[in-house]
Amino acid sequence: MLHRPRRNRKSPAIRNLVRETSLSAKDFIYPLFVHEAEENVAIESMPGCTRWSLAGLVKEAGEAHALGVPAVVIFPAVPEEKKNSTADECYNPNGLVPRAIQALKQAHPTLCVITDVALDPYNSDGHDGIVRPNRNDELEIINDETVAVLCKQAICHAHAGADIVSPSDMMDGRVEALRTALDDAGYQDVSILSYSAKYASAYYGPFRGALDSAPKAGDKKTYQMDYANVREAVREVILDEEEGADMVMVKPAGAYLDIISKVRETTSLPVAAYQVSGEYLMIKSAADAGWLDEKAIVLESLFAIKRAGADLILTYFAKQVAQWEIDGEF
């Protein structure tokens, strides 16, 4: 026999030498939830995740950073009484997110702070954009008006010290509008990580539970993408690159590895992938029930996302995996 591929698998040392993909805490962006309350509250729909107080957020981010995680992205839970149909709270300079950015940057100057740019946590309709009934009395998400609000939101985050703003709303033209607005306001150095290929996905369910941000009516299919499509993702990525995005994202990750791989071939920009709340919950609940080996499944799922072509991964497991890395577990 001339070919015995098993020779390259015969010992841990050789397997390490021929390993094609690596995973490290350095690849991770850690999503964290914050609310106004003084207590940290466990999130029922995402076991192991927490809605942090400001102080709790700073502590958790600091612990993850000390383990080697370079970046966090923050998601606010906004009380119902601060929501309205134009999501005005999203650019309140004294709002929860600007205060969280300031507290994080002050406590951890080397931590990269990323913010989500979209209206859903602040919008009484629960959509990422402004909602209005059209002539036929159907709900419509108004693109250009929404983009104008997103620009105010991004400038508010930049002013508070965000390193990267990350539009997750899927409105058309928002990357160019954000780039122009940020530059005009003097924030040329604030980066844009665009959720370029964000699918209308049932995997976001637990997240919407975490923030009480589910749409009050309708679904997100007129702005998020149809999961049957791949060329459309390529188109969105090309547009975002032309519009000035610094990094692009595919979301969700695990069920969209083909999209990640395609996007990797399409662009020279860094590609991020978001292992979303439903992916987290499926692993976590099976592991908590004793049906799957949590560490093995988490590592396999994250390696697969890297292997498909992602440079960066947003994952709720970031801190846990960083600890495993330090402990020499993989």
Active site residue 220: no
Token pair of 73, please? Answer: 């992205």
Query: Can you tell me which of 120, 236, 241, 243 binds ligand PBG, judged by CB under 6 A?
Result: 120
Asked whether 220 and 128 are in contact (CB, 8 A), the reply is yes
Q: How many residues does the chain have?
A: 330
Q: How far is the CB of 297 from ligand PBG (least distance, A)?
A: 17
- Cβ closest to ligand PBG, residue 208 vs residue 235: 208
Asked whether 146 and 172 are in contact (CB, 8 A), the reply is no
207 is a contact residue toward ligand PBG (CB under 6 A) = yes
d(CA 124, CA 130): 9
125 is a contact residue toward ligand PBG (CB under 6 A) = no
Q: How far is the CB of 125 from ligand PBG (least distance, A)?
A: 13
Q: How far is the CB of 109 from ligand PBG (least distance, A)?
A: 26
List Cβ neighbours of 205 (8 Å cut-off, separation of 6 or more): 45, 277, 278
Paired with 123 in beta bridges are 84
- Cβ closest to ligand PBG, residue 116 vs residue 125: 116
Q: How far is the CB of 212 from ligand PBG (least distance, A)?
A: 12
d(CA 66, CA 325): 13
30 is a contact residue toward ligand PBG (CB under 6 A) = no
- Cβ closest to ligand PBG, residue 37 vs residue 214: 214
Q: What is the 3-state secondary structure (H, E, C) of the chain?
A: CCCCHHHHHCCHHHHHHHCCCCCCHHHEEEEEEECCCCCCEECCCCCCCEEECHHHHHHHHHHHHHCCCCEEEEEECCCHHHCECCCHHHHCCCCHHHHHHHHHHHHCCCCEEEEEECCCCCECCCCCCEEEECCCCCEEEEHHHHHHHHHHHHHHHHHHCCCEEEECCCCCCHHHHHHHHHHHCCCCCCEEEEEEEEECCHHHHHHHHHHCCCCCCCCCCCCCECCCCCHHHHHHHHHHHHCCCCEEEEECCHHHHHHHHHHHHHCCCCEEEEECHHHHHHHHHHHHCCCCCHHHHHHHHHHHHHHHCCCEEEECCHHHHHHHHHCCCC
Q: How far is the CB of 255 from ligand PBG (least distance, A)?
A: 13
> Number of residues in contact with ligand PBG, rule: CB under 6 A?
12
168 is a contact residue toward ligand PBG (CB under 6 A) = yes
Q: How far is the CB of 228 from ligand PBG (least distance, A)?
A: 18
From 114-122, 174-182, 239-247, 291-299, span contacting ligand PBG (CB under 6 A): 114-122
Q: How far is the CB of 321 from ligand PBG (least distance, A)?
A: 16
- Cβ closest to ligand PBG, residue 21 vs residue 79: 79
Binding mask 225-264 for ligand PBG (x = CB under 6 A): ----------------------------------------
Query: Can you tell me which of 147, 160, 276, 305 binds ligand PBG, judged by CB under 6 A?
Result: 276
Catalytic residue (choose from 82, 83, 220, 251): 251
Query: Can you tell me which of 60, 89, 125, 128 binds ligand PBG, judged by CB under 6 A?
Result: 128
- Cβ closest to ligand PBG, residue 128 vs residue 243: 128
Catalytic residue (choose from 198, 262, 284, 319): 198
277 is a contact residue toward ligand PBG (CB under 6 A) = yes
- Cβ closest to ligand PBG, residue 187 vs residue 204: 204
Active site residue 284: no
Q: Which residues are catalytic?
A: 198, 251
**Contact footprint for ligand PBG (CB under 6 A):** 116, 118, 120, 128, 168-169, 204, 207-208, 220, 276-277
